[in-house]
Structure 1
Amino acid sequence: MDKEQTLHGAGLGLRREMLDEVLSHSPDVVSFYEVAPENWIPLGGKYAKKFRQLTEQHSFTTHGLSLSIGSPAALDVDFVKQVKAFLDLHNISVYSEHLSYCSGEGHMYDLMPIPFTEDAVAHVVSRVKTVQDIIERPLVLENVSYYAAPGQQLSEIEFTNAVLEGADCELLLDVNNIYVNSINHGYDAETFLAALPTHRIRYGHIAGHYNEDVDLIVDTHGADVITPVWQLLQKAYEIHGVFPTLLERDFNIPPLSELAKEVKLIKKQQSEAMSNPKVCYG
Structure 2
Amino acid sequence: MSHRMPSGAGLGFRRELIESLKQSEPSVIDFFEVAPENWAGLSGKSAKDLRYFTERYPFVCHGLSLSLGGLAPLDTQLLHKTKAFMKAHGMQLFTEHLSWCSDDSHLYDLLPIPCTQDAVIWTAKRIAQAQDVLEMRIGVENASAYIAPPGAEMSEAEFVAAVVKEADCLLHLDVNNIYVNSQNFGFDALDYFNTLPLERTCYVHVAGHYVEPDGLLIDTHGAEVIDHVWHLLLAAYERIGGDVPTCLERDLNLPSLADLTDEVRHIAHLQAQAPHQYKKVA
Classify the TM-score, shorter chain. over 0.9
* Inter-partner Cα distance in structure 2 for 1:281 and 1:117: 30
1:74-223 pair list within 5 angstroms:
74-151=73-150, 152-213=152-213, 215-223=215-223
Query: What secondary structure is seen at the aligned counterpart in 1 of 2:33?
Result: strand
Deviates more, 1:142-151 or 1:228-237: 142-151
* Inter-partner Cα distance in structure 2 for 1:86 and 1:51: 11
- Give the equivalent residue in structure 1 for 2:36: 37
Q: Across the two proteins, how many residue pairs are aligned to each other?
A: 276
On the 8 A contact 2:211/2:217 being kept in 1, the answer is yes
On the 8 A contact 2:158/2:195 being kept in 1, the answer is no
Q: Which runs of 5+ in 2 are unaligned?
A: none
Q: Which runs of 5+ in 1 are unaligned?
A: none
Query: What secondary structure is seen at the aligned counterpart in 2 of 1:173?
Result: strand
On the 8 A contact 2:68/2:99 being kept in 1, the answer is yes
CA offset at residue 82 of structure 1? Answer: 0.3
The alignment status of 1:280 with 2:280, answered yes or no, reads no
Query: What secondary structure is seen at the aligned counterpart in 1 of 2:220?
Result: coil
* Inter-partner Cα distance in structure 2 for 1:190 and 1:170: 20
CA offset at residue 214 of structure 1? Answer: 6.0
- Give the equivalent residue in structure 2 for 1:257: 258
Aligned residues: CA RMSD: 1.4
On the 8 A contact 2:179/2:229 being kept in 1, the answer is yes
Taking only the aligned residue pairs, the percentage that are identical comes to 49
Taking structure 1 as the reference length, the TM-score comes to 0.94
- Give the equivalent residue in structure 2 for 1:229: 229
Query: What secondary structure is seen at the aligned counterpart in 2 of 1:58?
Result: coil
* Inter-partner Cα distance in structure 1 for 2:239 and 2:215: 26
Query: What secondary structure is seen at the aligned counterpart in 2 of 1:204?
Result: strand
Deviates more, 1:19-28 or 1:131-140: 19-28
Q: Letter of the aligned partner of 2:175 in structure 1?
A: V
* Inter-partner Cα distance in structure 2 for 1:107 and 1:2: 32
* Inter-partner Cα distance in structure 2 for 1:169 and 1:20: 36
CA offset at residue 21 of structure 1? Answer: 2.3
Query: What secondary structure is seen at the aligned counterpart in 2 of 1:3?
Result: coil
The alignment status of 1:239 with 2:236, answered yes or no, reads no
Taking structure 2 as the reference length, the TM-score comes to 0.94
* Inter-partner Cα distance in structure 2 for 1:189 and 1:214: 21
- Give the equivalent residue in structure 2 for 1:3: 4
* Inter-partner Cα distance in structure 2 for 1:166 and 1:36: 26
CA offset at residue 42 of structure 1? Answer: 3.2
CA offset at residue 63 of structure 1? Answer: 1.0
